Chains A and B, each alone.
Chain A
Amino acid sequence: MPLERPMHPFRISWGRGRVQFASTSGDLVFQSFSTIVALSVIGLLVLIVAILFVAAEASIQTFGVGFLTGSVWNPTAGVFGAAPFVYGMLVTSAVALLLGVPISMGIAIFLSELAPPWLRIPLTYVVELLAAVPSVIYGLWGIFVLGPVMRAQVEPAIQSVLGFLPLFQGNAIGRDMFTAGVILAVMIIPTISAVSREALVAVPTSQREAALSIGATGWETTRLAVLRYARAGIFGAVILGLGRAVGETMAVTMTIGNRNAISGSLFGQGQTIASLIANSWLEAIAGSLELSALIELGLVLMLVSLLINTFARLMVGRVLRIGEGEE
């Protein structure tokens, strides 16, 4: 039953947002104040970008576009090329996705299609807890728990089977791009599985019933009706996970070996953009070219992260809109 609209001399359009006249001066003050605060948040973002550009000025002008392709990072010689760190970022992210996506999908499918109702909420909560552990603790665990296991058991095992590939050659000491990638995989699992699960749950029951009615098994129903339907959202979830992996700093810098060069083997030491900044910042002199180059790297990282996440949001938004359209 619709409530009677109050008979005010000024029209209040609740939630429509098109015409909003305040009915009292208090309203005017409140609305203006909150608008200013909200706009200042935009201002803050603009400030962040501006400051970064100003501080990275020196490096941008010195190196131009070659910054990203130069493969030498030598503070003493004043040469700064970001290629090794872009490479490290790509490699660790690739490992993280290769390992993390299948596991995340398994979790999402289990929670959405298979788990009995009483198990769903507690398990979801536990998986979310993975995201609550601070990055530095993952790093600590990576140095003292995972690293030794990698060195003593996992990496030798891989090398005994796949060691003929250049990808797995070299001294396996457990602190390398592979280990960093594994930890990243663990860290992005909560993100990918949570968003994927939402996409799976959004698939209408009628789709599952359609598959069941032609004699599909549970897994076939999931494969045919659910996963295919939700694939845009799942893709978006994966990209979101990638966005997170790219920005991770502490866990990576503590486990990747901190070597500013490109290594052809997964078991080689490396460096990502974020881990380099964390590693080198305090040794750089204020106002120096090195610092400016580090800040330019920060700018690059921010842009990459933004692009990835915006792309992901578009994908996830699309699947949720399909769901609405269907019903």
Chain B
Amino acid sequence: MRTLAAKVHVEKLSAWYGEKLAIQDIILDFEEHAVSGIIGPSGCGKSTLIRCINRMHETIPKARAEGKVLLDDKDIYELPAVSVRRRIGMVFQKPNPFPTMSIYENVAAGLRLNGERKREKLDAAVLESLKAAALWDEVKDSLDKSGAGLSGGQQQRLCIARALAVKPEVILMDEPCSALDPIATAKIEDLIFDLKKDYTVVIVTHNMQQAARVAETTAFMYLGKVIEVNRTRELFERPRESLTESYITGRFG
């Protein structure tokens, strides 16, 4: 196993919804410029985990987290949440473009928030992000149409473009394809493959085959704990834990 600098290091992270413990003492590394997958049955805490990484977890009432998440050796809980979220972007399960804004405005939203006003800079950024999200060719003539008029797969790529526009370092994906058809899913998986050149990608998925297709490293979670972490191939072909094996062979989940 190669040792690369871990872009994100999760150190004994636990998180609660009110009194209910959702994840416990998670220790994980996410490699830079690689795709890391997280799999596990419903309720195992994988969504909770990545929502802690970009500090979205705490936006839920009565939710809290303890532990450290290091981004390049700095604990994100000691940085302003707003800065963390700009550097660690997220794509959600159900595409959520802003329906009252055009495609252009959706992508430019993050930049405008950060004070960018110059038309040329915005145009360039929108172009670049839509290209990186493999959506440019499909929408380049209708940039001022509403974001809500696109198909599901296109909307999701729009959300990816929107996330990319603020130039994050890490992209978190929470089951990004579960609401999409197989063709749209394939397009996004291709996209993920391209993204890892410039970004660190963490993808949560309930679809093991998807993890096998896109992720270099995969972690298996069950009931709030990380059971096993390994290179994806190793995890699927030679699982060390019996629990992992049971899940992979479909005995539960």
Is there any pair of Cβ atoms, one from A and one from B, under 8 angstroms apart in the complex? Answer: yes
- The interface of chain A, by Cβ under 8 A from chain B, is 117, 204, 206-217, 220, 224-225, 228-229, 231, 322, 326
Q: For chain B residues 40-93, which have a beta carbon within 8 Å of chain A?
A: 54, 56, 59, 61, 82-83, 85-86, 89-90, 92
With A214-B86, A217-B82, A224-B98 known, 9 other A-B pairs at CB within 8 A are: A206-B94, A209-B96, A211-B98, A213-B56, A215-B82, A215-B110, A215-B113, A216-B85, A224-B109
B162 is an interface residue with CB less than 8 A from chain A: yes
Whether A209 contacts B59 by the Cβ 8 Å rule is yes
Known: A209-B92, A210-B92. A215 touches B86 (CB 8 A): yes
Whether B98 contacts A213 by the Cβ 8 Å rule is no
- With a cutoff of 8 Å between Cβ atoms, the chain B residues found around residue A212 in the complex are 56, 59, 85
- With a cutoff of 8 Å between Cβ atoms, the chain A residues found around residue B54 in the complex are 213
Q: Most chain-B Cβ atoms within 10 A of its Cβ — which of A204, A215, A224? A: A215
Chain B interface residue count, CB cutoff 8 Å, equals 27
B159 is an interface residue with CB less than 8 A from chain A: yes
B101 is an interface residue with CB less than 8 A from chain A: yes
B166 is an interface residue with CB less than 8 A from chain A: yes
Chain A proximity of B187: nearest CB distance (Å): 21
- With a cutoff of 8 Å between Cβ atoms, the chain A residues found around residue B83 in the complex are 215
Q: Can you list 24 pairs linking A and B with CB atoms under 8 Å apart?
A: A204-B96, A206-B94, A207-B96, A210-B97, A210-B98, A210-B159, A211-B98, A211-B109, A212-B56, A213-B85, A213-B92, A213-B163, A214-B86, A214-B89, A214-B109, A214-B113, A214-B165, A215-B82, A216-B113, A217-B82, A220-B113, A225-B98, A228-B101, A326-B99
- With a cutoff of 8 Å between Cβ atoms, the chain B residues found around residue A207 in the complex are 96, 98
- With a cutoff of 8 Å between Cβ atoms, the chain B residues found around residue A208 in the complex are 59
Q: How far is the CA of A208 from the CA of B85 in the complex (A)?
A: 13
Q: How far is the CA of A211 from the CA of B98 in the complex (A)?
A: 9
B142 is an interface residue with CB less than 8 A from chain A: no
- With a cutoff of 8 Å between Cβ atoms, the chain A residues found around residue B113 in the complex are 214-216, 220, 224
B100 is an interface residue with CB less than 8 A from chain A: yes
Which secondary structure characterizes the binding site on chain A?
helix
Chain B proximity of A326: nearest CB distance (Å): 7
- With a cutoff of 8 Å between Cβ atoms, the chain A residues found around residue B85 in the complex are 212-216
Q: Most chain-A Cβ atoms within 10 A of its Cβ — which of B83, B96, B97, B110? A: B96
Chain B proximity of A244: nearest CB distance (Å): 27
Chain A proximity of B79: nearest CB distance (Å): 12
Q: How far is the CA of A215 from the CA of B84 in the complex (A)?
A: 7
Chain A proximity of B147: nearest CB distance (Å): 10
Q: How far is the CA of A224 from the CA of B100 in the complex (A)?
A: 9
Chain B proximity of A77: nearest CB distance (Å): 55
Known: A117-B61, A220-B113. A213 touches B90 (CB 8 A): yes
Q: Most chain-A Cβ atoms within 10 A of its Cβ — which of B85, B94, B162? A: B85
Chain B proximity of A130: nearest CB distance (Å): 27
Closest B residue to A213 by beta carbon equals B90
Q: How far is the CA of A231 from the CA of B86 in the complex (A)?
A: 27
Closest A residue to B99 by beta carbon equals A229
Whether A216 contacts B82 by the Cβ 8 Å rule is yes
Closest B residue to A228 by beta carbon equals B100
Known: A212-B85, A215-B82, A215-B85. A206 touches B96 (CB 8 A): yes
Q: How far is the CA of A326 from the CA of B97 in the complex (A)?
A: 11
- With a cutoff of 8 Å between Cβ atoms, the chain A residues found around residue B96 in the complex are 204, 206-207, 209-210
Closest A residue to B114 by beta carbon equals A215
Q: How far is the CA of A159 from the CA of B114 in the complex (A)?
A: 40
Chain A proximity of B101: nearest CB distance (Å): 7
Q: How far is the CA of A206 from the CA of B113 in the complex (A)?
A: 19
- With a cutoff of 8 Å between Cβ atoms, the chain A residues found around residue B82 in the complex are 215-217
Q: How far is the CA of A222 from the CA of B94 in the complex (A)?
A: 20
Chain B proximity of A120: nearest CB distance (Å): 11
- With a cutoff of 8 Å between Cβ atoms, the chain B residues found around residue A231 in the complex are 100
Closest A residue to B85 by beta carbon equals A215
- With a cutoff of 8 Å between Cβ atoms, the chain B residues found around residue A229 in the complex are 98-100
Q: How far is the CA of A207 from the CA of B92 in the complex (A)?
A: 11
Chain A proximity of B144: nearest CB distance (Å): 16
Contact flags B10-29 to A (C-beta < 8 A → 1, else 0): 00000000000000000000
Q: How far is the CA of A136 from the CA of B96 in the complex (A)?
A: 49
Closest A residue to B101 by beta carbon equals A228
Chain B proximity of A147: nearest CB distance (Å): 43
- With a cutoff of 8 Å between Cβ atoms, the chain A residues found around residue B166 in the complex are 214-215
- With a cutoff of 8 Å between Cβ atoms, the chain A residues found around residue B56 in the complex are 209, 212-213
- With a cutoff of 8 Å between Cβ atoms, the chain B residues found around residue A209 in the complex are 56, 59, 90, 92, 96
Chain B proximity of A80: nearest CB distance (Å): 47
Closest A residue to B86 by beta carbon equals A215
Whether B101 contacts A213 by the Cβ 8 Å rule is no
Q: How far is the CA of A317 from the CA of B187 in the complex (A)?
A: 38
Closest A residue to B166 by beta carbon equals A214
Q: How far is the CA of A212 from the CA of B99 in the complex (A)?
A: 16
